[in-house]
């Protein structure tokens, strides 16, 4: 790899000196207007110039591109679907203007049907359908910003974050997930655009959840979002990403990176409800660091996409730190939710809990991949893992691959997993109480998901329940 | 704490390179940087990859699997995704010989 | 330094390996080619996380068969048991080359067949050809292909339909000396409604590896027909100077039962893989395993319950106890095929880490492709409760003894599930190992 770095340095110096001579003059805006597919150093340079980034970020992007190109596609997981990704045929950057659909007619029927059933307002429909680049909630967005500014809290999109707070970004960007981590982290580092940047100064309890949804441009549903959240000593924040309504995108590859840093005594809860349209490959790297007495919680809902591969991770590096991961996955027709959770105990007196609930229906497939790792220096750690999988229908499939690597004997680690179908006795009982078979099944599924749903803000929980009802009816997909 | 064991000769490990030695229960990797020779456990603390499959860059050991970086002299973590330092072993040069104090 | 791709290749097969029937020679050649074409398993992949696959490759194989005093002692004791009627017979296997059968004259009258595999390949072609390599072959992996090509002599056991062998048959396998390589092979064919109990013991080898080690790569295939009952105790208590790799696969048919008791006690480096394929409604498999590691032992154990048919039931209970700098990796896979409705599969793995410095990896896995299933697994890892030790100390029981008592308690209910007629024997193996723990 030293070779790669050395070559890259010489390439970079070439760029600075004779880019213009080599390629002729390109206005970055024009460049992308022509609709360039595929990825190479030119594309990366143009993305960075268009955003007017500091040179160090541009350099990191180039470096990451070389790493992306040198790493092979993973040989584990759904290798069949992964093998279908055509990297040369993807747009790695498009200005928001380019992202609009030509017409509402192009939005798939199942998406439109879901919008109707969920009662999504018209303007929101157009935005989620990719038809409009704007979502008219400006008023809400601006008033929220006023409040935050008063407390010294920074909540911006990542591009603006880099522009207005380069020192903070430079310190933490890539500190949790380096570009060498995996192929998709490298890709994201090279072409990232959009995402959220949050910094909470010490001693603040941010009462209302911060939501990405209210940022008013199409880039908050971008392919290669990069999110960086730093919560300083003793502060608390809850961030919510995504929405239960399906989001349609023609871009087939989504590869976000999320880095969370909870400094001493801080608390971060990161809630995601992901419901990408069924054509999307969603390969995400999400990782956090919890320092002394800090707490990180991932509440992760995976409903959409063709293939999701996502294993939120909590690294407990300070004594007394705590982690919790609550994950739900629903795989319907042709879907594969390959999700999981990772906790790394690198300090003593830390504790963690993982709860994973998955539902496979029709020929859907859920996979749980987990890791509990206790380093030899971490004493008196307590971990509990619970995985429950519900199978509905003859074709459904569920896999569980939990790994526990324990290098310290003073621990308490417990793991439990169960796989079953909807219990006949339960169905019988509910039907004898006057429910139809469908209603009974739905009630059981809701009960199954309850530990997750009760952690969501009310409006999300309501929408999620409606969505599950739709899925169970079989009127989607 | 064990005794010093001769593992190899100084000319066997050129500058900028590393060699792995199988001690039966684990491997030790000897690294040759501008600052000299250093001995580390040949197992990355991040995901158990072999350090000896990686490279030296700017005086730091870089693991080939996910890019974790370590300081060969102290074993300290210099770059993510590693979190915990790597074990180091006492090393001394005796003429042409490299001796490492290994666990028993 | 990046190692080059390790592809140890086998030279041409020695002439003595090609003295069997043509079909067998051809299989050996083909397996040799498979071995040569496969790369070493990639280090870091699940089954090989802590274990360096290259440690199982021997470059040269001396044929130093060392029959040491301990082996002689055990053989004498077991021969006495045969004479006393406590065992139906004894088979000794020295370094995967010399097979000798003791006793069994009475049992032979019922049709029970126990003989050297190489002889059986010639004389009992109809029994061997369909079954040898049927469960462990080129598809299984590189090391299995190695055994398939290089096994010198093995043991063949055939229990005809309806034959009930009511006393255990003891197989005593002895590893070789420093620098030796053995490829033990066992093929068991159990007929409809037949019953057999096997105690398969691996022992011997150099007492430490200061001068080098002995290497053994063994394969066990058990084909059990409808309604048969098989009990298989796998006692691995090799000496410290050995590296052991073993793959075991059993396929049981409709209504058949199998009980497997893996006891992983010995060797410095040991990787054992036990699998049962449940291939007919009503088939049931129970696995109760114990792994005790101490000193610098590195013991890997993998179990597999593959439900190829609906209405089958499996249960694994695997316990691991580690002290000193011992290391263990356990993976347990339950796989339920798409067409297999109405299966029940359970697994429990409990790990007791007696002191700092031990490392345990445990991966209980599930692959469920049919919704009509009742399946669960659990795993726990932790130390001995210090209060318990304190309690025993205060009653005048010294530390080491107290720990042994607590560990005995930990494994007690595994022993409770061992059928009464072989319980005493199994308990004796466990006690002996505990004594050295």
Q: Which residues contact A337 (CB under 8 A, 6 or more apart)?
A: A302, A305, A308, A329, A330, A331, A358, A364, A365, A366, A367
Out of A376, A391, A403, the one facing C363 most closely (by C-beta) is A403
Q: How many angstroms separate the Cα of C189 from the Cα of each of A147, A374, C26, C134, C218?
A: 78, 45, 22, 11, 17
Residues in chain B: 104
Q: Does B103 touch chain A (CB under 8 A)?
A: no
The distance of C278 to chain B (nearest Cα, Å) reads: 35
Q: Does B14 touch chain A (CB under 8 A)?
A: no
More confident residue, A391 or C44: A391
CB-defined contacts B:C, below 8 A: 27
Mutate which of A409, A410, A413, A415 to test chain C, going by most C C-beta atoms within 10 A?
A409
Q: How many angstroms separate the Cα of A459 from the Cα of each of A129, A464, C118?
A: 20, 9, 73
Give how far the C-alpha of residue A175 lies from the chain's centroid of Cα atoms, to the nearest Å.
Answer: 18
Average pLDDT over residues C364-374: 95
Average pLDDT over residues C89-98: 91
Burial class (CB in 10 A: 0-12, 13-18, 19+), C73: exposed
Structural contact between residues A411 and A382, judged by C-beta atoms closer than 8 angstroms: yes
Assign B104 a pLDDT band (cuts: 50, 70, 90): low
Give A336-345 pLDDT, tens digit per residue. Answer: 999 999 999 9
pTM: 0.90
* Residue B18 predicted with pLDDT over 70: yes
Which helix (DSSP H) or strand (DSSP E) does residue A343 occupy?
strand A336-345
Q: Does A316 touch chain B (CB under 8 A)?
A: no
Residues of A in contact with B83 (CB under 8 A): 315, 317, 344, 346, 375
More confident residue, C355 or C68: C355
Report the neighbours of A using a cutoff of 3 or more CB pairs below 8 angstroms. B, C
Mutate which of A404, A410, A420, A425 to test chain C, going by most C C-beta atoms within 10 A?
A404
Residues of A in contact with C364 (CB under 8 A): 400, 402, 415, 417
Assign C190 a pLDDT band (cuts: 50, 70, 90): very high
Give C204-256 pLDDT, tens digit per residue. Answer: 888 887 888 888 999 999 999 999 999 999 999 999 989 999 999 999 999 99
Cα C431-C434-C435 angle, rounded to 5 deg: 85
Structural contact between residues C327 and C297, judged by C-beta atoms closer than 8 angstroms: yes
* Residue C436 to residue C133: CA distance in whole angstroms: 37
Burial class (CB in 10 A: 0-12, 13-18, 19+), A203: exposed
Task: For residue C100, report the phi and psi dihedrals to the nearest 5 degrees.
Answer: -135, 135
Q: Which residues contact A37 (CB under 8 A, 6 or more apart)?
A: A88, A89, A90, A91
In order, the DSSP letters of A175-237 are: SSS-TTS-HHHHHHHHH----EEEEE-TT-B--SPEEGGGS-SGGGG-SS-EEEEEE-TT-EE
Residues of C in contact with A420 (CB under 8 A): 373-375
Residue ranges of the domains in chain C? 15-279, 385-437
- Please give the pLDDT value at position A403: 93
Q: Which long-range contacts (CB under 8 A, 24 or more apart) does A219-222 make?
A: A219/A96, A219/A157, A219/A159, A219/A193, A219/A194, A220/A157, A220/A194, A220/A196, A221/A128, A221/A130, A221/A247, A221/A249, A222/A193, A222/A194, A222/A195
Give A304-361 pLDDT, tens digit per residue. Answer: 999 999 999 999 999 999 999 999 999 999 999 999 999 999 999 999 999 999 999 9
Report the neighbours of B using a cutoff of 3 or more CB pairs below 8 angstroms. A, C
Asked if B80 and A181 come within 8 Å (Cβ–Cβ), the reply is: yes
Give C142-168 pLDDT, tens digit per residue. Answer: 999 999 999 999 999 999 999 999 999
Burial class (CB in 10 A: 0-12, 13-18, 19+), A27: exposed
Mutate which of B26, B30, B55 to test chain C, going by most C C-beta atoms within 10 A?
B26
**What does the block give as tokens for B51?**
């350090």
- Please give the pLDDT value at position A4: 44
Cα C84-C89-C95 angle, rounded to 5 deg: 130
The region that residue C44 occupies, defined by phi over 0 for left and psi between -120 and 50 for alpha, beta otherwise, is left
Residues in chain A: 477
Cis peptide before B81 (omega within 30 of 0): yes
Among residues C355, C292, C303, which one has the least CA distance to residue C328?
A: C292
What dihedral do alpha carbons A120, A215, A45, A11 form, nearest 10°?
-110
In angstroms, how far is the first alpha carbon of chain B from the final one? 6
- Please give the pLDDT value at position A214: 52
Do the strands C269-278 and C89-94 form a parallel or antiparallel pair, or are they unpaired? unpaired
* Residue B28 to residue B35: CA distance in whole angstroms: 19
Residue ranges of the domains in chain A? 2-89, 110-422, 423-477
Asked if C1 and B49 come within 8 Å (Cβ–Cβ), the reply is: no
Q: Which residues contact C264 (CB under 8 A, 6 or more apart)?
A: C236, C270, C272, C289, C290, C291, C292, C299, C301
- Please give the pLDDT value at position A24: 39
The distance of C337 to chain A (nearest Cα, Å) reads: 10
Rg (CA), chain A: 23
Asked if B80 and A182 come within 8 Å (Cβ–Cβ), the reply is: no
Do the strands C298-307 and C269-278 form a parallel or antiparallel pair, or are they unpaired? parallel
Mutate which of C323, C352, C371, C376 to test chain A, going by most A C-beta atoms within 10 A?
C371
**What does the block give as tokens for C292?**
């005790």
Q: Which residues contact A6 (CB under 8 A, 6 or more apart)?
A: none
Mutate which of B83, B87, B103 to test chain A, going by most A C-beta atoms within 10 A?
B83
- Please give the pLDDT value at position A8: 42
Q: Which residues of C sit within 8 Å Cβ distance of A?
A: 46, 49, 338, 351, 353-383
* Residue C327 to residue C323: CA distance in whole angstroms: 9
Residues of B in contact with A348 (CB under 8 A): none
User: Sign of torsion, CA A210 A216 A217 A221?
Assistant: positive
Neighbours of B40 (CB within 10 A): 27
Asked if C3 and B52 come within 8 Å (Cβ–Cβ), the reply is: yes
The complex scores an ipTM of 0.92
The distance of A398 to chain C (nearest Cα, Å) reads: 5
Asked if C356 and A410 come within 8 Å (Cβ–Cβ), the reply is: yes
Asked if B24 and C209 come within 8 Å (Cβ–Cβ), the reply is: yes
Rg (CA), chain B: 13
Out of B45, B56, B66, the one facing A180 most closely (by C-beta) is B66
Assign C71 a pLDDT band (cuts: 50, 70, 90): confident
Three-class SS state of B88: strand
Asked if B81 and A375 come within 8 Å (Cβ–Cβ), the reply is: no
Cα B88-B2-B68 angle, rounded to 5 deg: 15
Q: Does C45 touch chain B (CB under 8 A)?
A: no
Chain A CA closest to residue C364 = A402
Chain A CA closest to residue C367 = A399
Strand order in the sheet with B97-101: B4-9, B97-101, B91-94
The mean-pLDDT minimum among A153-157, A249-253, C285-289, C329-333 falls in: A249-253
Give me the half-sphere count of Cα atoms (radius 13 Å) on the Cβ side of residue A120. 26
* Residue C227 to residue C284: CA distance in whole angstroms: 10
Three-class SS state of A370: strand
Out of A402, A414, A418, the one facing C375 most closely (by C-beta) is A418
Residues 254-273 of A with CB under 8 A from C: none
Task: For residue A126, report the phi and psi dihedrals to the nearest 5 degrees.
Answer: -65, -35
Q: How many angstroms separate the Cα of C228 from the Cα of each of B91, C163, C259?
A: 61, 10, 11
Q: Which residues contact A430 (CB under 8 A, 6 or more apart)?
A: A439, A440, A443, A444
Q: Which residues contact B84 (CB under 8 A, 6 or more apart)?
A: A346, A375, A377, B45, B77
Domains of chain B: 4-101 (2.102.10.10)
Chain B CA closest to residue C324 = B104
Out of B62, B81, B83, the one facing A1 most closely (by C-beta) is B62
- Please give the pLDDT value at position A142: 64
Stretches in chain A below the pLDDT threshold 70: 1-36, 94-103, 123, 127, 129-143, 213-222, 244-245, 250, 475-477
Task: For residue C318, report the phi and psi dihedrals to the nearest 5 degrees.
Answer: -125, 125
Q: Which residues contact A36 (CB under 8 A, 6 or more apart)?
A: A43, A91
Residues 6-35 of B with CB under 8 A from C: 17-20, 22, 24-25, 27
The DSSP symbol for A295 reads E
Q: Does B56 touch chain A (CB under 8 A)?
A: yes
Cα C130-C132-C133 angle, rounded to 5 deg: 105
Give A372-384 pLDDT, tens digit per residue. Answer: 999 999 999 999 9
């Amino acid at each position: 790899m030293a070779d790669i770095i050395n070559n890259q340095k010489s390439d970079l110096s070439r760029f600075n000196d004779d880019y213009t001579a080599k390629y002729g003059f390109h206005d970055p805006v024009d460049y992308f207007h022509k609709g360039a597919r595929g990825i190479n150093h030119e594309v990366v340079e143009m993305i960075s110039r268009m955003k007017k980034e500091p040179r160090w970020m541009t350099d990191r992007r180039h470096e990451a591109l070389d790493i992306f190109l040198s790493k092979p596609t993973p040989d584990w997981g759904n290798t069949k679907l992964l093998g279908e990704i055509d990297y040369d045929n993807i747009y790695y950057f498009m200005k928001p203007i380019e992202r609009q659909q030509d017409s509402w007619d192009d939005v798939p029927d199942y998406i439109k049907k879901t919008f109707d059933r969920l009662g999504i307002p018209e303007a929101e429909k157009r935005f989620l359908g990719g038809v409009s680049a704007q979502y008219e909630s400006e008023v809400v967005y601006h008033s929220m910003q006023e409040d935050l500014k008063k407390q010294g809290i920074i909540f911006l999109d990542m591009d603006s974050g880099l522009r207005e707070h380069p020192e903070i970004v430079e310190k933490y960007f890539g500190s949790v997930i380096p570009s060498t981590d995996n192929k998709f982290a490298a890709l994201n580092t090279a072409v990232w655009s959009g995402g959220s940047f949050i910094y909470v100064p010490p001693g603040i309890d941010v009462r209302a959840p911060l939501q990405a949804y209210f940022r008013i441009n199409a880039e908050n549903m971008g392919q290669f979002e990069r999110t960086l959240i730093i919560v300083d000593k003793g502060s608390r924040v809850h961030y919510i990403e995504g929405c239960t309504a399906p989001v349609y995108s023609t871009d087939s590859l989504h590869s976000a990176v999320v880095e969370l840093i909870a400094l001493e005594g801080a608390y971060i809860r990161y809630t995601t409800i992901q419901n990408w349209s069924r054509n999307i490959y969603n390969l995400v790297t999400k990782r956090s660091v919890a320092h002394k007495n800090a707490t990180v919680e991932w509440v992760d809902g995976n409903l959409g996409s063709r293939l999701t591969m996502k294993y939120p991770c909590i690294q407990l590096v300070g004594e007394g730190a705590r982690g919790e991961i609550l994950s739900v996955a629903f795989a319907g027709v042709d879907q594969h939710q390959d999700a999981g959770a990772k906790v790394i105990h690198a300090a003593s007196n830390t504790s963690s809990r993982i709860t994973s609930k998955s539902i496979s229906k029709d020929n859907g497939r859920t996979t749980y991949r987990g890791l509990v790792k206790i380093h030899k220096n971490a004493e008196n750690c307590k971990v509990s893992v619970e995985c429950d999988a519900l199978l509905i229908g003859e074709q459904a499939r569920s896999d569980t691959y939990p790994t526990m690597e324990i290098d310290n004997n003073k621990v308490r680690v417990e793991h439990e997993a169960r796989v079953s179908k909807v219990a006949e006795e339960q169905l019988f009982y509910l039907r004898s109480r006057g429910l139809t078979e469908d209603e009974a099944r739905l009630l059981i599924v809701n009960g199954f998901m309850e530990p997750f749903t009760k952690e969501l803000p009310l409006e999300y929980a309501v929408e999620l329940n409606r969505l599950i009802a739709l899925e169970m009816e079989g009127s989607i997909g | 704490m064990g005794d010093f064991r001769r593992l190899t000769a100084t000319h066997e490990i050129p500058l900028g390179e590393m060699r792995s030695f199988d001690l039966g229960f684990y491997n030790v990797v000897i690294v040759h940087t501008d600052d000299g020779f250093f001995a580390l456990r040949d197992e990355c603390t991040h995901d158990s990859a072999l350090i000896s499959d990686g490279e030296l860059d700017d005086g730091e050991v870089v693991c080939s699997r996910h890019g974790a970086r370590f300081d060969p002299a102290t074993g300290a973590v210099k770059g993510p995704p590693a979190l915990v330092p790597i074990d180091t072993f006492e090393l001394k040069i005796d003429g042409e010989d490299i001796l490492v104090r290994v666990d028993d | 330094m990046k190692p080059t791709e390790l592809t140890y290749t086998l030279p041409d097969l020695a002439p003595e390996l090609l003295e069997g029937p043509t079909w067998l020679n051809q299989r050996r050649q083909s397996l040799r080619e498979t071995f040569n074409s496969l790369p070493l398993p990639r280090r870091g992949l699940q089954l090989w996380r802590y274990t360096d696959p290259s440690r199982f490759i021997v470059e040269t194989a001396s044929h130093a068969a060392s029959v040491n005093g301990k082996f002689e002692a055990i053989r004498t004791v077991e021969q006495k048991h045969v004479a006393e009627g406590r065992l139906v017979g004894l088979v000794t296997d020295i370094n995967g080359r010399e097979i000798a059968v003791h006793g069994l004259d009475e049992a032979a009258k019922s049709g029970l067949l126990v003989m050297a595999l190489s002889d059986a390949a010639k004389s009992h072609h109809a029994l061997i050809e369909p079954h040898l390599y049927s469960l462990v072959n080129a598809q299984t992996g590189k090391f299995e292909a190695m055994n398939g090509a290089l096994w010198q002599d093995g043991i063949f056991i055939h229990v005809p339909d309806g034959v009930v062998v009511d006393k255990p048959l003891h197989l005593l396998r002895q590893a070789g000396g420093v620098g030796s390589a053995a490829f033990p092979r066992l093929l068991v064919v159990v007929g409809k409604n037949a019953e057999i109990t096997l105690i398969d013991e691996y022992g011997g080898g150099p007492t430490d590896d200061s001068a080098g080690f002995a290497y053994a790569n063994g394969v066990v295939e058990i084909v059990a027909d409808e309604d048969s009952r098989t009990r298989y105790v796998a006692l691995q208590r090799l000496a410290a100077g050995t590296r052991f790799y073993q793959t075991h696969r059993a396929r049981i048919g409709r209504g058949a039962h199998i009980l497997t008791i893996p006891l992983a006690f010995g060797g410095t480096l040991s990787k054992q893989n036990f699998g049962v394929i449940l291939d007919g409604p009503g088939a049931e498999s129970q696995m109760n395993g114990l792994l005790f590691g101490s000193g610098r032992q590195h013991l890997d154990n993998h179990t597999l319950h593959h439900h190829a048919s609906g209405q089958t039931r499996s249960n694994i209970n695997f316990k691991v106890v580690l002290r000193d700098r011992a290391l263990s990796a356990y993976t347990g896979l339950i796989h339920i095929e798409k067409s297999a409705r109405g299966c029940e599969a359970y697994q429990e793995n409990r790990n007791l880490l007696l002191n700092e410095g031990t490392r345990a990896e445990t991966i209980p896995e599930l692959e469920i492709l049919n919704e009509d299933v009742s399946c669960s697994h659990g795993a726990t890892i932790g130390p001995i409760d210090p209060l318990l030790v304190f309690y025993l100390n205060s009653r005048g029981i010294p530390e080491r003894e107290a720990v042994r008592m607590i560990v005995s308690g930990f494994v007690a209910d595994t022993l409770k599930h061992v059928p009464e007629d072989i319980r005493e024997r199994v308990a004796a193996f466990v006690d002996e190992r505990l004594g050295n723990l």
